[in-house]
Structure 1
Amino acid sequence: SSPVLFWWLLCHCVSYHLTYYAVDQKLCACTKCLSEDKQLLLDRSNRSVQPFLTANLNLSENEFNWWKRLQTESRSFGVYETTVANFFKIFPRNPDVIQPKPDHCRTCAVVGNSGNLRRSHYGPLINLHEVVIRMNTGITRGFEKDVGNKTTHRVMYPESAVDVDDNTHFVLFPFKIQDFEWLINASTTGFTGRSYMPVKSKIKTNKDLVMVVNPAFMKYVHEVWLGNKGRYPSTGFMALILALHICDEVNVFGYGADSDGNWSHYWEILTNKGLRTGVHPGSYEYNIIQQLDQQQKIKFYEGLTKKM
């Protein structure tokens, strides 16, 4: 229906067939595989940093001490280790990540919540991706034409959490020990604690599809990708770097300011016109996304209302 969608489909089909016959030399069946991009590895991407926690992955005390400052965690490293051990008694000990294959192209759409998605008509294109990562409360109902309705992974923290269906991965971005405790309790007996914002007592999620981002990965994104700018990276930026580690091809939607220069959400009418990016280095993150697009590491669909 849309010219953008037609050309994306055409290029993707042609590239898939051209590369399929050279699969014995390639790690994936995309035109370009992120995992084969030596320059990206040399520049910033450190594949030795595991994106997700597993039951056997130990956080160093140095990494813990960096992480505990994000939201002034007062409890000890030992409490963290005990809590994480309890977490993996309930949730999968290893994350459900699609592994690279020479005859397969893992396409990922990372869908932010920017107001620049309005009237973009990107919905059908977003739905074509194998993995569709959305953030926090990003609504699809009523906005399908612009944002699609497929969600395979929803990145959240307790204060931003919404119920997810049985086929969607709940990807927890933990900022404090209580975030692990919250998900343990909210998905079982109910959570009764308090946070800086109201949190849901119960959450609907498929326990077999829960994944938790490694605090060391968050530290790596802040230090290596952002040069320690801002207090810590935004959820959206961390989700994008996460996609670079688990996908072969990454397409990015819904990042950056709207047509008025405000950092608004596509589903709401903005009343606070002075809204910016808080503790996150929003403009710096946005520039990195543009650089990755210019270097053809990702494809960035900027939306139709971007301020020029």
Structure 2
Amino acid sequence: MSTPRRLTLAAVTVASLMCVYLLYGNLEPPIALSWAHLPSLSSWSLEILQPPYPEPRRHDNRTNPAPSPTPGPAVTVPAPSHKNVSAKPTESPFIGDFYASQDNPPLTECPDGIRSLVPKSYLAQIFLGSVPVLQWSPHATPDEYHRLSRYGGAKGWGGLTYQTLSDALAYLNSSANGIMFDDWKRRGNSSACVRCAVVGNGGILKGSNKGEEIDAHHYVFRTNGAILAGFEQDVGVRTTHYTFSTNTLMNSMASYASVGYRGPPKTRETRYVFLPDHDHDYLLMKAAARRTPVEQGRERGKNVFSPSPTKYFGKNVTSTQLKIYHPDFIRYLRNRFLPSKTLKTKHRDIYRPSTGAVMLLAALHTCDRVSAYGFMTPQYKKYSNHYYDRKYQPVGFYINHDFKLEMNLWQKLHQAGLITLYMRP
């Protein structure tokens, strides 16, 4: 080959390599799926966050196409900063430290509320205010079922058929089902802050005389065997949000009937917040919304829900009074607030925050100010397990919850000024 021809071939080769570099050299790696195709919800996306937790994400205006998991369509999302993209997973698959993200605007402009305190506290790198606390009908999409069916129990939709899920959530089709305080504007108060009392059933409340103080809050959260009759002076009488699972409700009715528990409170202001551990929670919620007996599953035909769930939720209960925690929220609480050592054992699949812990942390994410009563403190051995125990009963510990880890969390939140925890000397 002559010298001129060699020079010409070399020049063409260099030019070709430069074109390849210019075309592909600045492409970013694939990124996560967004939910921008859900018209009934605003500002949805998936936020990929893996331990060790990254700095708060930086936003830019660039977009890249992202592949969608079967069977959903491909969509477009904002590109995250490189710090939020992990080339290699750093966690076990069952952990799933990534969550749906939605715009959760505050109800008020509380100047010294929890949201304003979090960035200055130790929770700054843990707290995600965009994780949906509640699920409702727009969440029941094939894409989301595909994503969440890999997690079991309260942490996902594993073991739950898509038909059961979509049929149940179809009854939660009002915006009231998607927010915790759907009646805030109707209350007509001029308060700049949403004040919540979260009431556990701990024996520390016996003789506390905190009933009037508890009832003075805008909202009062209770859970499981919350017996009020005969204990009004210590625990109050109002219940605006009652948190339970089908299991804890049945266990409470079986265990505490002898001391006066007759089921959930039935008032016009009460909202029933399901913690879905299994498919029967969705089936019971559907039955409650329809005011009909449970149609399938282990609760079908049982006397405990006969003639229908209205016996326990009231004859006038409506679907707008029903709410259900989002599995992403439960998994987020487990992963970031209460990562127990149990997660490294063979019992990891059954571990989750206790029902009371979910209730208190839900209040932390939705209220401006939170006062907690009846929760475990370092002096727990001085008090009976429940405030309504007729004789002293020690606190019981179980493998599916980590009560001591929860107790330490309440202390940290109290010391950080994020909650006010009722304690006694």
- Give a deviation string over 1:228-272, Cα, whole Å, max 9, x none: 544110011111110011100011000116753576111123576
Q: Does 1:242 align with 2:362?
A: yes
| Contact 2:385–2:392, Cα closer than 8 Å, also in 1 | no
Q: Within 2, Cα distance between the matches of 1:212 and 1:69?
A: 11
TM-score normalised by structure 1 residue count: 0.78
Structure 1 unaligned residues grouped into runs of 5+: 1-25
> In the aligned structure 1, how far is the partner of 2:125 from the partner of 2:170?
37
Distance in 2 (CA, whole Å) between partners of 1:53 and 1:210 is: 11
Q: For each residue in 1:70-118, what CA deviation from the matched residue of structure 2 results, as whole angstroms up to 9, or x when unmatched?
A: 7996344x24542344343699553352569996210001100001110
For each residue in 1:41-79, what CA deviation from the matched residue of structure 2 results, as whole angstroms up to 9, or x when unmatched?
Answer: 523221111101122235454433223387996344x24
CA distance in 1, matches of 2:133, 2:124: 18
With over 3 angstroms needed to count, the CA separation of the structure-2 counterparts of 1:81 and 1:273, relative to structure 1, is: closer
Please tell me whether the aligned partners of residues 54 and 95 of structure 1 are also in contact (alpha carbons under 8 angstroms). Answer: no
- Name the structure 1 match of 2:298: 194
Distance in 1, matches of 2:380 and 2:418, equals: 26
Q: What amino acid is aligned across from residue 140 of structure 1 in structure 2?
A: L
**Aligned match of 1:178:** 280
Name the structure 2 match of 1:215. 327
Shift of 1:157: 1.3
Which letter maps to 1:216?
D
Q: What amino acid maps onto 1:83 in structure 2?
A: D
Q: Measure the CA separation in 2 of the matches of 1:72 and 1:97.
A: 25
Secondary structure at the residue paired with 2:280? helix
Could you state the TM-score of these two structures normalised by the residue count of structure 2? 0.58
Helix, strand or coil at the partner of 1:241: helix
Identify if the C-alpha distance between structure 1 residues 178 and 129 changes in structure 2 by more than 3 Å, giving closer, same or farther.
Answer: same
Which one of the candidate residues 32, 51, 61 is aligned to 2:133? 51
> Which stretch has the larger CA shift, 280-289 or 39-48?
39-48
Q: Distance in 1 between matches of 2:157 and 2:145?
A: 18
- The Cα offsets for residues 132-189 of structure 1, whole Å up to 9 and x where unpaired, read as 0001121111111111111111111123332422220111111112211112224521
Q: Which runs of 5+ in 2 are unaligned?
A: 1-106, 250-262, 343-350
| Greater C-alpha radius of gyration | 2
Q: Which residue of 2 aligns with 1:82?
A: 166
Whether the aligned pair in 1 keeps the contact of 2:148 and 2:156 (CA below 8 Å) is no
In 2, Cα distance between equivalents of 1:199 and 1:279: 25
- Bigger shift: residues 144-153 or 163-172: 163-172
What is aligned with 2:34? none
Change in CA separation of 1:218 and 1:45 when aligned onto 2, cut-off 3 Å: same
1:50 is aligned with what amino acid?
P
1:39 counterpart letter in structure 2: K
What SS class does the counterpart of residue 88 from structure 1 fall into?
coil
Counterpart contact for 1:158–1:183, Cα < 8 Å: no
Count, aligned residues: 276
Amino acid at match of 1:237: A
In the other structure, the counterpart of 1:36 is 116
Query: What is the deviation of 1:194?
Result: 2.0
Residues 136 and 291 of structure 1: is their aligned pair in 2 closer, same or farther, counting only changes over 3 Å? same
Task: List, as ranges, runs of 4+ consecutive aligned residues in structure 1 with deviation greater than 4 Å.
Answer: 69-73, 89-93, 98-103, 270-274
Q: Is the 8 A contact 1:95 1:210 kept in 2?
A: no
Does the C-alpha gap of structure 1 residues 279 and 249 become closer, same or farther in structure 2, counting only changes over 3 Å? same
Q: Report SS of the residue matched to 2:170.
A: helix
Structure 1 residue 276 corresponds to structure 2 residue 410? no
**Farther off after superposition, 197-206 or 126-135:** 197-206
The answer for the alignment partner of 1:287 in structure 2 is 408
- The sequence identity of aligned pairs, in percent, is 24
> Residue 283 of structure 1 aligns to a residue in which SS?
helix
CA contact (8 A) 2:164 2:283 kept: no
Query: Of 60, 67, 70, which residue of structure 1 is paired with 2:152?
Result: 67
Aligned CA distance change for structure 1 residues 106 and 75 (closer, same or farther; 3 Å)? closer
Equivalent AA in structure 1 for residue 367 of structure 2: C
Q: Which residue does 1:299 correspond to in 2? A: 420
The structure showing larger relative contact order (alpha-carbon pairs under 8 Å, at least 6 residues apart) is 1
Distance 1:143 1:224 in 2: 35
